Amino acid sequence: MDTKLLQGKKIVVGVTGGIAAYKAVEVVSRLRKAGAEVHVMMTREATEFVTELTFREISGHPVAQDMWAKVQEYKVEHIALATLADLMLIVPATANVLAKTATGIADDLLTSTILATKAPLFFAPAMNTGMYENPATKANISVLKDRGIHIIEPASGYLACGVEGKGRLPEPAEIVQEVLDYFSETQSLQGKKILVTAGGTEEALDPVRFLGNRSTGRMGYAIAEAAVRRGAEVVLVSGPTSIPVPAGVRAIKVRSAREMEQAVLSEYDSVDAVIKSAAVADYRPKEISSQKIKKSDGELTLTLVRNPDILYELGQRKKNQVLVGFAAETNDLETYARKKLEKKNLDFIVANDVSAKDAGFGTDTNRVQIFYRDGREESQPLMSKAKLAGLILDRLRGYWDEMSEGIELFPK
Ligand code: PMT
């Protein structure tokens, strides 16, 4: 276990009344061993399963339990721990605490603290299978997930109530690993500035029409959001889309390929990496009519001229920046992706088959192959764009790590 990772981190562990409460003792112990300062909060029901004294001894701090008690160590406010926490972990989380949190009920110290804190929240549900599978519990979990609360999936197995099924608390080591992963993820791109392009471009024909493409921006916005969560400074150059700009991201909105080119070049010298997931028009109408083009009986012929290849230009001007391209292909994916990797002087390229129904444009999922400069490649199964965004950023982090160790990963 990485002992430094949790050094200086303040973690508030909320213990609720379930048979798995005894496992929370080991969770607290492991968090402390990993360097965290741990404060435990118990519901009254939890004290029926494990004593306050046990947690006090294991955490090294008084246990907060009664909303009205005068806990010596914390100031007057009953929610003092809400502001102190860098992360709050509810283990085990009963169906009751999930339901209260989903509806905003704050009728004891723990639920008041959950409601008041701005710290990331992790819930490790543990309960009888019937309760876990009840539509009410499922709906509550889904509400919590939508609010960005982390749910540590319960395991399947033999439950205390005598049945086999889902609802068992995962092993303490696995729970602590989720916390470690969270902190390592949130810090992994600190100090890095990343430029992401997203969405499609629009090439005007006249004041009301344009040539566009099917990109929705989902892939690029997922990357920008994940990069900010990992601590990077993120500039998002985006074509028109209805997706809101993720918190913490600086967005530059553009329409045409040439506007995108200008925006990207103005930021290029100051960034550490560019991830170019935008779908850029290769051609634009030679002329833009200043008035709406009127229909006539005959055919209409448009003359198109080449747009700049932005990524190619970046490859030519590259200094220390890592360049990550995308390749949208409908056939011969590997051949075309490798050509683009080479021609545009990229470090790696993420290729998607955009003829698939569940991948590429407009979907929430994607299935990609990644090709690297040194000839390596990897195929990834279908996954959400959010998950793929994290994977691409892991590869980028891995690239920097290997470079700092002096290994030339992608020799020129
Ligand atoms: O936005 P979504 O709906 O989520 O869809 C995601 C996506 C399908 C758009 C995305 O996954 C994707 O494949 N993006 C790249 C689309 C594309 O333009 O690919 P390309 O193979 O034509 O271009 C190769 C690379 O060169 C791309 O990184 C592209 O941004 C860049 N390029 C292309 C043309 C051009 N004139 N300038 C460029 O910079």
pLDDT at 313: 98
pLDDT at 184: 83
pLDDT at 403: 85
Query: Could you tell me which residues are beta bridge partners of residue 150?
Result: 122
Residue 294: count other Cβ atoms within 10 Å of its Cβ. Answer: 7
Tens of pLDDT along 298-328?
A: 999 999 999 999 999 999 999 999 999 999 9
Indicate if ligand 1 lies below 6 Å from the C-beta of 8. Answer: no
Query: What is the domain-level CATH number for residue 334?
Result: 3.40.50.10300
Please, what is the Cα angle at 119 between 117 and 123, to 5 degrees?
90
- Mutation choice for ligand 1 from 197, 201, 213, 215, CB with most ligand atoms inside 8 A: 215
Indicate if ligand 1 lies below 6 Å from the C-beta of 336. Answer: no
Find the domain containing 50 and state its range: 10-185
Q: How far apart are CA 226 and CA 230, in angstroms?
A: 6
Tens of pLDDT along 34-87?
A: 999 999 999 999 999 999 999 999 999 999 987 666 555 555 455 789 999 999
If you ran DSSP here, which 8-state letter would residue 48 be given? G
Residue 368 Cα to ligand 1 middle (Å): 13
pLDDT at 157: 80
User: Is 388 contained in some domain?
Assistant: yes
Q: Are residues 211 and 160 in the same domain?
A: no
pLDDT at 76: 47
Residue 296 Cα to ligand 1 middle (Å): 35
How large is the average pLDDT for residues 347-356? Answer: 97
Q: Are residues 124 and 249 in the same domain?
A: no
Q: Are residues 263 and 338 in the same domain?
A: yes
What burial class does residue 320 get, using C-beta atoms within 10 Å of its C-beta: 0-12 exposed, 13-18 middle, 19+ buried?
exposed
Distances (CA, A) of 266 to 237, 260, 314: 11, 10, 11
Write down the mean pLDDT value for the chain.
Answer: 93
**CA nearest ligand 1 atom 14, residue:** 277
* Domain final residue, candidates 127, 153, 185: 185
How large is the average pLDDT for residues 184-200? Answer: 94
How large is the average pLDDT for residues 345-354? Answer: 98
Q: What share of the chain is helix, strand, coil (3-state, %, to 5)?
A: 35, 25, 40
How many structural domains is the chain composed of?
A: 2
Q: Are residues 123 and 209 in the same domain?
A: no
Looking at the CA of residue 312, tell me the nearest atom of ligand 1.
39
Tens of pLDDT along 217-228?
A: 999 999 999 999
Q: Are residues 243 and 376 in the same domain?
A: yes
**H or E segment to which residue 14 belongs:** strand 10-15
pLDDT at 2: 45
| Beta carbons within 8 Å of 114's beta carbon, 6+ residues apart | 14, 88, 90, 97, 101, 106, 121
Tens of pLDDT along 371-383?
A: 999 999 999 999 9
Indicate if ligand 1 lies below 6 Å from the C-beta of 309. Answer: yes
Looking at the CA of residue 310, tell me the nearest atom of ligand 1.
39
- Residue 165, by phi and psi: left (phi above 0), alpha (psi -120 to 50) or beta? left
**CA nearest ligand 1 atom 33, residue:** 280
pLDDT at 85: 95
What is the token pair recorded at 134? 């009840």
How large is the average pLDDT for residues 344-365? Answer: 97
Q: Are residues 211 and 335 in the same domain?
A: yes
User: Is 284 contained in some domain?
Assistant: yes
Give, to the nearest 10 degrees, the angle between helix 310-317 and helix 257-268: 20
